Amino acid sequence: MGHLIPLTELAKQLVHHHNFSITLILPTIGPPSMAMKSVLDRLPETITCILLSPVNLDDQPKDAKGETRISIAMVRSLPYLREELKRVISSKRVAAFVIDLFGTDAFDLAKEFGIRPYIFFPCNANVLQLLLNLSSLHQSYSGAFKDLPQPLCLPGCVPIPGTEILPPLQDKKDDAYMWILHHARRYSLAEGILVNTFVDLESSVLEVLQQGIPTIYPVGPITSSSSIGKGFDDASGCLQWLDNQPLESVLYVSFGSFGFLSYEQMIELAYGLEISGQRFLWVVKCPAAATIDASLSKQMRTDPFHFLPDGYLNRIHGSGFLVPSWAPQIQILNHGSTGGFLSHCGWNSTLESIVCGKPMITWPLYAEQRMNAVMLVEDIGVAVRPKPDENGLIGREEISRVVKILMGGGGEGKSLRDKTRQLKEGAASVVSEDGSSNISFLEVVDKWKQLSS
Ligand code: UDP
């Protein structure tokens, strides 16, 4: 979802403001999820969406990482993609072929058909800089990043302790590492990379990147203007509940589309939120499968509320509101009663929080989220991060402590709120007529217009 949502928003901008016609081609491994369908069903008619025939990944080990599965799905979809591209090219003049960050194998097709490949990079520029340097880091450093004696200092980037580098890059023997390296090495084949970030967030690394090749276009923040799934928007009644809460009093808690806590961690979070005494709206998901008692019935295993402490719903009634699985995030973040966001730091969630002016508690789980957390806390100053204990568990007292910092009236919370407000203004100004992201966007759009005329 974190790749699909900003990509479709980019497509909408190209259609609505620049008269392009867009064909969105998606590899699949099965029927689309509800959330995915709700995004695709709401695309304007000027965007044609083609779901490629599903490819089979049954031969992959159960523990194959997401990056591996996505990359293999892409490679196996290439024959279907070739057929679709042939069809598009026979009826339209193609200005550009915009590829996802894990889709670089499609560059070969771009070459075959003589069309120009671009990448849409849905993460930030610090992560892009890491990937653009990955090949040389791979050659110069044979150990695991987590064992680096000093934080990694790449040109223009926030120094990153080795332990915070994305988990799939921590094990050089894992296929996911090899796939990311494979893609990163091919980024230089792109004509340009559109990055979902903006200058107020990452001025120094953008300055460095914009002096190199390929051309970098910071076009963000591209966020969804309305929540995914208008139809089942407020099925839970959470927006109505928010309407009745005091201004900026509610902490929104969500771990994105793939964020699952262990059972033990979920319990600590439940108690931590409760004892903080603050209002909260929590999108509750079932705990990670490996931590669920296998003897439970299917119904129990798929009901997230089943895993909450005994009597929890009654105790939090009035101050807490729980939504199972998926909530209308944009509306929640935009709501005046929401005062902060406890987030897994997916880049879209991060941008959405900034655009809506809500400070954050960082709780990174997977992909590049730890790097995002470091940036938000150490560099940008819009977030606070709880400290895990020696076993990696974030205890209830610690959770309560950071919730009180963020939502309470103290100086630290105020400074996070002030900084977030400033960034919110910056985010609005960069996409205005003379704003840096708009200028960058128009630059690439002009190029594409010339190529298609
Ligand atoms: N999202 C949502 N409701 C939810 C969880 C997520 O609408 O309950 C949306 C969220 O607004 C964001 C996207 O799904 O646009 C998640 O993207 P992100 O990059 O934050 O994380 P990912 O889920 O891809 O790790």
Q: What is the pLDDT of residues 181-228, one digit of tens each?
A: 999 999 999 999 999 999 999 999 999 999 998 999 999 999 987 655
Contacts of 453 (CB under 8 A, 6+ apart): none
pLDDT of residue 35: 83
**Prediction pTM value:** 0.94
Q: Write the Ramachandran bin of 357: left for phi over 0, alpha for psi from -120 to 50, otherwise beta.
A: left
User: Is the domain of 314 the same as that of 290?
Assistant: yes
Instruction: Name the residue of 4, 228, 234 whose CB sits within 8 Å of the most ligand 1 atoms, as the mutation to test its pocket.
Output: 228
Distance of CA 313 from the midpoint of ligand 1 (Å): 25
Contact 376, 319 (CB under 8 A): no
Do both 380 and 446 map to the same domain?
no
Mean pLDDT (whole number) for 332-349:
97
| Residue 438 maps to a domain | yes
pLDDT tens string 303-315 = 999 999 999 999 9
Is the CB of residue 329 below 6 angstroms from any atom belonging to ligand 1?
A: yes
Let me know whether 447 and 420 are in one domain.
Answer: no
Q: Residue 399: which domain range? A: 238-427
In the chain, the amino acid numbered 117 is P
Could you give the number of structural domains in the chain?
A: 2
- Inside any domain, residue 231: no
Cβ-Cβ contacts under 8 Å for 260 (sequence gap 6 or more) = 285, 286, 287, 288, 289, 365
Instruction: Determine what percent of the chain is predicted with pLDDT higher than 90.
Output: 86
Mean pLDDT of the chain: 94
Q: What is the DSSP string of 129-178?
A: HHHHTHHHHHHH--S-GGG-SS-B--TTSPPB-GGGS-GGGT-TTSHHHH
Residue 154 lies in a domain: yes
Q: pLDDT tens digits for 345-388?
A: 999 999 999 999 999 999 999 999 999 999 999 999 999 999 99
- Average pLDDT estimate for 54-66: 94
Residue 230 lies in a domain: no
Residues 18-38 have a mean pLDDT of 92
* Residue 324 in contact with ligand 1 by CB distance below 6 A: no
How far is ligand 1, taken at its centre, from the CA of residue 350, in Å?
A: 9
> CATH no. for residue 197?
3.40.50.2000
Catalytic residue among 16, 41, 59, 100: 100
**pLDDT confidence of residue 231:** 41
Report which protein residue has its CA nearest ligand 1's atom 8: 326
Asked whether the predicted pLDDT for residue 230 surpasses 50, the reply is: no
Say whether 138 is catalytic.
no
**Do the interacting molecules here have an ipTM over 0.95?**
yes
Is 3 in the active site? yes
Q: 69 CA to middle of ligand 1, Å?
A: 20
Q: Is the CB of 124 under 6 A from ligand 1?
A: no
Cα 355 to averaged position of ligand 1 atoms, centre (Å): 14
